[in-house]
Structure 1
């Protein structure tokens, strides 16, 4: 194997290290291995062009492996959308990898490999925000079930990812032996506060409201099939009727079999089954020519109260960017709703009376750490309704759950999650899964609402302190370069 092929093979390996660190495998030490190997490859790149190719190859390998679930939605209706599946994966992996190619190119062009320590996390922030953003698969998520994840309460996922990169860089960009020693000390320093924080977790209050999270287990290819819809609806009704009665019942995303506007009889049936308990129901509704993916509060009297409309929609899934142009090329949205959905007005709280307020998140909205705030104030808990049947059964549902865990850590709030199929879960304010229903299982869980924590630093400041720190770090790494120019 010549040097160029060996270099490329190592790029692929680095990407696979990152992928294996993510759910469902979750081999978190491989994050450090991936970073260290990537930095070594950057140092060994002979030119800025080779460095950019290196960053792109590592990123393409990582995103192709970790986002393999992206083909699943296109296979629900193979005849209509199946041809798009390979293009979707290749386009997604190759496009996202450009965000990794750029910092590698800049670092090599400047002749300052250390500048990658700021540039790479800044590029990941850009990936999370540019063109509506796609923050799926941030490296911090590999630490979900470790004490390190607790640091996200202070610095968020971008800060935690930057810390991991810096630790991995010590033996590569500095001294090998000293770097390994300092890296281990840094890991201990990072993990100790998290362990202490977990040890001081508050107990759930004895009088905490009981909330029922339902899961009908409807495969996406059967979800809207008229032969199967009654089966899934009966499962939901059975879960709603079960005793003892909770204080609130939650149905997952788009679980109402009718349009909300035309579901009077169905809603009365649900209210009868709930027997006085309010029910939050994922539903589709319309206003004029606009359709919305919504969460509706069904009151005890069978009337619809507050309605929340999903505001951060999935490109190509729920709406078609550049719709006029792309529709001419034979593309369409993956949802069964003709023409896609319209976006709601933004984050807002749902008032649940004695239970408190909840910040609703519908499916994709839970992947955005910077969109957990409402102008109406801080909620009592985060409520995530989702339809993870779109994501298949391998990696997607598990990665989606991990991101929900991080939202709880970052905000210091419990998160309750009702999924159409896997993984329905009760998550405490430290991001720990207290109870759950696995993929492919129908049923419900009754959970006492976990206690919230005090507002976290990240919930108050967001990513601004981390971004400023990264810009400062970038300036510091450039100082020898500027001095040399002078």
Structure 2
């Protein structure tokens, strides 16, 4: 037995894990080591994934983070200096994050089976490899928490600082991947998500950790206030968030934009051999037929028709016949907004560049505006620069079968899309909608000099089938509407297509895996701009600093 373990066994039960019905399990976790500690951390993280969409079991994250605190107690206490304590906390955090991400992102494996003959071999890289790499952020978060760790409630603030900071870094570094950020545990509930209008997703993340980890103190300390106070404060905070959110959401339906009637086309095209260039006529005919369907009895005809991401398996800009068929097949007076790949003529000595784009098309087939996707999916739409040449030399490519992959649009081109008859639209393609603070450009003005009036998101989730993936995608896009105070119009090839108002309420939607159309009015934005739209993550930065100061103050008192 090492000196540190002897210290733990002798001192920790009597000092920190000495009361209540949770004393025995907390002590066992704190004293666990080796593979048992790693297995417990992995399972605790996996349990926390049940708090994410589409399950939304918030108590699962309460148990998960409570166990994480107790595991970190054992890694943090009884060690002589940071040289040994920091690696131990990092490993606990990595195992917790690995379990959380593996359980929450397993559905990524579906994409590797669409063209199984070419990509099935790489399935473990997506299902296990990606979570293993992203879990490094959680390891760093637990290690950062250790720097401010203390007894009692102070360590809850330390964990909130470490995990919220780690989630922010995960969403920004190396192109960023903020999928299933912990704040989504609160950000999927209509009332609780309203706080995002002020503090954004990362502010919700810090609150989620504070609230869900607070019950860890039920097993520690001897004073009732120190043992029960954090849990009581967490319950009061959660109730206050819900009550305030319920008050913020208007009792009736949102006002709508006059003169606008949207038609979202959900063709439910499979991501298989049927979606090939040689089937272009059938595919275009399918879109046109859906677009021309008469509205329901008493319904107004559509003014704008929306088709999903990459609607065509060919370059429609270079196919005048198909472009004319599309333009001529629109309902009378309607304009089309569609996802479509486009090519840009190269300069001498350059290769042809392809872009994942949104185009606006008017009769008789005239393209009037274009937006090129800025935030591409690594390995899905392109191969990262340092690996590009090496992987292509091995005969590998990105999932999307475009020669050389897509090129990213200019960051300055992440702009407002001008669509006649609609308010200026903040354009997003696919998973661009999961990035908080990146929806609206720094200068959010359209051609008319006005701020955007809606978020437009076109996507194709057919890669992931009937799994949690499309539902998680929708939930994260929905939170952007609350953050920015703008309605969200989301058209997805296989679903879930929806119109969502600026408070996060779904006004109309189509379920997954259904071919259909969705006619809906466009909700109006909230009056003015939300605090998050004006200040971005500045309120979160203040919250993060406050958590750190509280943790350091508690450590100093200990």
Scaled to the shorter chain, the TM-score interval is over 0.9
Match for residue 11 of structure 1? Answer: 41
Moved more, 460-469 or 151-160: 460-469
- Please give the per-residue CA displacement for 1:437-478, whole angstroms capped at 9, x wherever unaligned: 111101110010011103111111111221233134324423
CA distance in structure 2 between the aligned counterparts of 1:107 and 1:76, rounded to whole angstroms:
41
Q: 2:137 aligned with 1:99, yes or no?
A: yes
CA distance in structure 1 between the aligned counterparts of 2:107 and 2:183, rounded to whole angstroms:
20
- Out of 319, 322, 336, the residue aligned to residue 401 of structure 2 is 336
Q: 2:330 aligned with 1:279, yes or no?
A: no
- The structure number with the bigger radius of gyration is 2
CA contact (8 A) 2:184 2:204 kept: no
Change (3 A) 1:111 1:149: closer
CA distance in structure 1 between the aligned counterparts of 2:252 and 2:94, rounded to whole angstroms:
41
- Say which SS state the counterpart of residue 523 (structure 2) adopts: coil
CA distance in structure 2 between the aligned counterparts of 1:206 and 1:159, rounded to whole angstroms:
31
CA distance in structure 2 between the aligned counterparts of 1:223 and 1:461, rounded to whole angstroms:
46
Match for residue 179 of structure 1? Answer: 230
Q: 2:354 aligned with 1:291, yes or no?
A: yes
The alpha-carbon deviation at position 411 of structure 1 amounts to: 0.6
- Out of 386, 389, 393, the residue aligned to residue 459 of structure 2 is 386
Match for residue 203 of structure 2? Answer: 159
Moved more, 430-439 or 475-484: 475-484
The alpha-carbon deviation at position 388 of structure 1 amounts to: 0.5
- Please give the per-residue CA displacement for 1:197-256, whole angstroms capped at 9, x wherever unaligned: 123565333835111111110111235235755444332111111224301000101113
- Out of 425, 441, 460, the residue aligned to residue 514 of structure 2 is 441
Matches within 5 A, 1:190-229: 190-200=241-251, 203-205=254-256, 207-225=258-276
Change (3 A) 1:239 1:138: same
Change (3 A) 1:135 1:223: farther
- Please give the per-residue CA displacement for 1:75-130, whole angstroms capped at 9, x wherever unaligned: 11111111111122222111111101112123335544442221210111000000
- Say which SS state the counterpart of residue 354 (structure 2) adopts: strand
- Please give the per-residue CA displacement for 1:313-341, whole angstroms capped at 9, x wherever unaligned: 11111110121133234432110111100
Change (3 A) 1:331 1:475: farther
Tell me the C-alpha RMSD between the 2 structures.
2.2
Moved more, 381-390 or 23-32: 23-32
- Please give the per-residue CA displacement for 1:354-375, whole angstroms capped at 9, x wherever unaligned: 3221111110211111211122
- Say which SS state the counterpart of residue 210 (structure 1) adopts: strand
CA contact (8 A) 1:32 1:164 kept: no
- Please give the per-residue CA displacement for 1:367-419, whole angstroms capped at 9, x wherever unaligned: 11121112242211011000001222211100000011101111111001111
Matches within 5 A, 1:18-417: 18-45=48-75, 47-108=85-146, 111-112=149-150, 113=155, 114-143=157-186, 144-173=188-217, 175-200=226-251, 203-205=254-256, 207-225=258-276, 230-244=281-295, 245-274=301-330, 275-287=332-344, 288=346, 289-321=352-384, 322=386, 323-345=388-410, 346-374=413-441, 375-377=443-445, 378-417=451-490
Q: TM-score, normalised by structure 2?
A: 0.82
CA contact (8 A) 1:42 1:54 kept: yes
Moved more, 330-339 or 416-425: 330-339
